[in-house]
Amino acid sequence: MIIVTTETIPGKQIKDVTGYVRGGTICSKNLGQDLAVSFMMGGELALYSEMLIEARQVALGRMVADAKRQGANAIIGLRVISTPVIQGAIEIFVYGTGVVI
């Protein structure tokens, strides 16, 4: 599946628009130890970074599944939103427009 942030796909013609597609997840980790080490040493919160990478992949996978259910074979206009939900938890939401190319 082709996924782009633009409204067109270079070299491809959009034959049909299937509609709004989306996917999301909410995740959290016990960041106590990672946070303590970061404050002492400075730098990246590795566990948190890994969690966000995994969460984006889950959200994208759910969006692709939604697009396939609608008959799309590509997604244009991809947007990614991350929102803190509660202390230590974050929502990752992705959306775009499903199209047939």
pLDDT digits (tens, 9 = 90+) for 17-54: 999 999 999 988 765 655 665 565 666 767 778 888 99
Cβ-based neighbours of 4, under 8 Å, separated by 6 or more: 74, 75, 76, 77, 78
Average pLDDT of span 50-73: 96
Average pLDDT of span 63-72: 99
Domains of the chain, each with CATH number or no CATH: 2-100 (3.30.110.70)
**Other CB atoms closer than 10 Å to residue 37's CB: what's the count?**
14
**Other CB atoms closer than 10 Å to residue 71's CB: what's the count?**
12
